[in-house]
């Protein structure tokens, strides 16, 4: 049997359709469940295929099924450290569904698995609510409805085209109710699909610390971090410094945040700058991303003294906020003693670096002279900007980098520059965030992904305050001016998303990105504020939560009344057909007696089968069915024939065939 014939045989059977359905709805979960679990699911599916093609020859015994199920539950419990959290719960639901499939034999079992598939479809939205996932889940619902029809078609033959048509109509019938539920269901807090933070949902991205090699690993990911939409003008690429957090403490190898810092700064804005909105993707982190230098923030978020901001809770669902930033500012304040001490503190491990910085200090007249000396050192001493630098293994990692390897990524240069400045008596800190962004010409929205992660420095100069210095620009100016892809284009082992440089593919990506952004704005960000704004736009009134609840209930009741009236009017206008009604009565009598008509069975085929089963009533059965055929399909009929037919059906009763006792 060839592959095509095997596939057709598989989808022609209800158990085969259920197997395909479960694999489709489970596929997105493979990203979140462990590898051993994915392999187990595929193994159970293969076992079920063997059972189908061998006519249940290799069905597992009840004992084996129970033992395997108990073992799976124990392993999942130990792996997830319990069953709490959406990851552990979804994991258990998915695996148990496949164990149920392995032992399923009846249509009742298959119907249960279809119902479980609807639940699995819902759990996929707990992990991701992107447009891609939504479209895929709608496709899964379409396949689910086809599977339902396949299970209930019994011995009748319904083509795949007819099943697809019925499924699409059912989805179309549900769309009005779906739209009402989405727009008017009262939203209490948070956007659509908002869920509590699940600690098992680890996501990659910036950390609250930095060490050599950490940021360069993010270049291999092109996962979206956030989108920015500017109100009037969009800044040039070299000004797109998105700050997230500042690192103050250094132990010789790793930089960390300073949770005790409470410096007081006064920001003077000379020009309004840029007004923009950020749509932040879920990342289970608290920090927000703000364009240098922010001075006004919405959503009741507060700017910290280092011009960063945080969300009160980890961002577990799409978050929107608006910001005002300016490139023309002046920080008129004094650095307090604690902040100054922290910003100058370095362990005495990198002695050669300290000596180099002190030599610059002796020759310099201003702090700017020391800064320029460091930048000139990076640009003229053979330093190399690379994605895969030599590993720094000693405790004097900065010395090793500055005088031996001389190759690194942004974190290497930012760390070394901060140490040099502190050694020369200039307070400094490191800023973590992202640099650059992809401007979509379709909607003028900037997208920032993980590969744009960046680290730069801020130095304190008396009378001027904190000043941004990016030492990477001294080694690789194209990183700042043109983006990360331009800076790495001549290097080996580039990530795949940097190598796919095709104009047609880029235009397609931009189109999908613009559509996906609309999905985020119109669907995922539809929260209680947007719902009330919509109602205010529709009615001109302000709605409270109680008003929205009453409106929602009235709309649902109204839809039920309209639907009922529609069906009542349709039934009222339907022409009464006594012949068809009487024939249905005959079929009901035969069904109760155990001789139900198959969906695919014609009247005369049905007659032949009944006569073979009930030979003693051959004359009555032939009279009823032949008269029905004549009344339905012949033109030369009269009311007398119909009266005889109706009377015969009403008087007909099934006589069970006589079985002599043994």
**What pLDDT does residue 116 have?**
93
Backbone angles phi, psi at 635, to 5 degrees: -90, -30
Residue with tokens 């049905």: 606
CA distance 280 to 297: 14
Residue with tokens 């100016």: 477
DSSP, collapsed to helix, strand or coil, labels residue 428 as strand
CA distance 469 to 475: 13
- Higher pLDDT residue, 157 or 173? 173
Structure tokens at 436: 């650059």
**What pLDDT does residue 191 have?**
46
By C-alpha distance, which of 561, 217, 528, 555 is closest to 391? 217
Q: What is the pLDDT of residues 330-375, one digit of tens each?
A: 776 678 888 888 999 998 888 999 999 999 999 989 999 999 999 9
CA distance 537 to 531: 10
**What would you report as the CA-atom Rg of the chain, rounded to the nearest whole angstrom?**
36
**What pLDDT does residue 500 have?**
63
Q: What's the 3-state SS for 174-224?
A: HHHHHHHHHHHCCCCCCCCCCCCCCCCCCCCCCCCEECCCCCHHHHHCCCE
Q: pLDDT category, 541, cuts 50, 70, 90?
A: confident
**What pLDDT does residue 168 have?**
93
Structure tokens at 114: 């279809």
Q: What angle do CA 58, 61, 66 make, to 5 degrees?
A: 130
Q: pLDDT category, 483, cuts 50, 70, 90?
A: low
Distance of CA 627 to the CA centre of its chain: 61
Residue 331 · residue 464 · CB < 8 Å: yes
Rounding to the nearest 10 degrees, give the CA dihedral for residues 53, 54, 58, 62: 80
Residue 226 · residue 450 · CB < 8 Å: no
Q: What is the pLDDT of residues 583-626, one digit of tens each?
A: 889 999 888 888 888 877 888 888 888 998 888 889 999 999 98
- Across all residues in the chain, what is the average pLDDT? 84
Residue 560 · residue 198 · CB < 8 Å: no
CA distance 55 to 134: 37
Span of 273-277, 300-304, 332-336, 468-472 with lowest mean pLDDT: 332-336
Distance of CA 78 to the CA centre of its chain: 26
By C-alpha distance, which of 624, 531, 289 is closest to 431? 289
Q: Enter the pTM of the model.
A: 0.72
- Higher pLDDT residue, 487 or 110? 110
**Res 203 pLDDT > 60:** no
Q: What's the 3-state SS for 366-383?
A: CHHHHHHHHHHHHHHCCC
Q: pLDDT category, 192, cuts 50, 70, 90?
A: very low
The most confident of 49-53, 134-138, 215-219, 302-306, by mean pLDDT: 134-138
Average pLDDT over residues 317-339: 83
């Amino acid at each position: 049997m060839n592959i095509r014939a095997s596939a057709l045989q598989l989808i022609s059977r209800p158990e085969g359709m259920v197997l395909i359905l479960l694999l489709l709805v489970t596929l997105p979960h493979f990203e979140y469940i462990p590898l051993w679990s994915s392999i187990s699911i595929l193994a159970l599916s293969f076992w079920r295929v063997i059972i189908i093609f061998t006519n249940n020859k290799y069905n597992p015994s009840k004992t084996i099924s129970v033992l395997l199920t108990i073992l799976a539950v124990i392993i999942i419990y130990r792996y997830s450290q319990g069953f709490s959290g959406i990851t552990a719960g979804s994991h258990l639901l998915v695996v148990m569904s496949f164990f149920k499939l392995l032992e399923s034999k009846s249509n009742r079992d298959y119907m249960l698995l279809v119902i479980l598939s609807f639940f699995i479809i819902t759990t996929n939205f707990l992990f991701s609510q992107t447009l891609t996932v939504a479209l895929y889940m709608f496709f899964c619902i379409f396949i689910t409805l086809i599977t339902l029809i396949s299970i209930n078609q019994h011995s009748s033959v319904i083509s795949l085209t007819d099943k697809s048509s019925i499924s699409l109509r059912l989805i179309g019938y549900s769309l009005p109710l779906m739209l009402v539920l989405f727009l008017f269901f009262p939203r209490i807090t948070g956007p659509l699909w908002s869920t509590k933070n699940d600690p098992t949902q680890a996501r990659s991205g910036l950390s609250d610390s930095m060490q050599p090699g950490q940021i360069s690993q993010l270049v291999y990911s092109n996962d979206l971090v956030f989108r920015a939409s500017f109100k009037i003008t969009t800044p040039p690429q070299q000004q797109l410094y998105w700050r997230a957090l500042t690192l103050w403490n250094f132990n010789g190898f790793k930089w960390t945040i300073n949770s005790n810092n409470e410096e007081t700064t006064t920001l003077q804005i000379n020009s309004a700058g840029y007004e923009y909105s950020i749509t932040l993707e879920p990342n289970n982190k608290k920090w927000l991303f703000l364009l240098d230098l922010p001075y006004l923030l919405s959503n009741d978020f507060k700017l910290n003294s280092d011009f960063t901001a945080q969300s009160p809770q980890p961002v577990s669902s799409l978050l929107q906020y608006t910001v005002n930033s300016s490139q023309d500012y002046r920080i008129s304040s004094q650095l307090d003693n604690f902040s100054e001490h922290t910003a100058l503190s370095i362990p005495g491990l990198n002695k050669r670096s300290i000596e180099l910085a002190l030599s610059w200090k002796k020759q310099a007249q201003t702090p700017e002279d020391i800064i320029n000396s460091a930048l000139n050192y990076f640009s003229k001493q053979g330093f190399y900007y690379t994605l895969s630098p030599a590993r720094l293994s000693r405790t004097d990692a900065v010395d090793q980098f500055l005088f031996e390897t001389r190759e690194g990524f942004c974190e290497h240069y930012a760390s070394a520059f901060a140490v040099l400045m502190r050694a020369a008596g200039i307070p400094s800190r490191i800023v973590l965030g992202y640099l650059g962004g992809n401007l979509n010409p379709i909607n003028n929205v900037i997208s920032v992904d993980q590969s744009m992660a960046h680290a730069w420095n801020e130095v304190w100069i008396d009378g001027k305050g904190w000043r941004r210095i990016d030492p990477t620009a001294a080694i690789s100016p194209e990183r700042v001016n043109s983006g990360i892809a331009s800076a790495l284009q001549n290097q080996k082992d580039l990530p795949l998303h940097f190598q796919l440089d095709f104009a047609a593919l880029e235009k397609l990506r931009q189109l999908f990105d613009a559509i996906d952004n609309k999905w985020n704005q119109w669907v995922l960000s539809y929260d209680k504020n947007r719902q009330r704004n919509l109602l205010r736009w529709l009615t001109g009134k302000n709605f409270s939560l109680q008003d929205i609840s009453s409106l929602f209930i009235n709309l649902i009741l109204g839809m039920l009344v309209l639907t009922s009236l529609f069906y009542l009017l349709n039934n009222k206008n339907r022409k009464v057909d006594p012949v068809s009604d009487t024939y249905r009565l005959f079929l009901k009598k035969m069904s109760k007696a155990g001789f139900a008509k198959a969906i695919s069975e014609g009247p005369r085929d049905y007659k032949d089968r009944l006569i073979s089963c009930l030979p003693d009533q051959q004359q009555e059965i032939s009279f009823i069915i032949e008269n029905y055929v004549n009344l339905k399909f012949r033109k030369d009929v009269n009311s007398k024939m119909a009266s005889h037919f109706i009377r015969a059906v009403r008087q007909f009763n099934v006589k069970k065939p006589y079985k002599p006792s043994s």
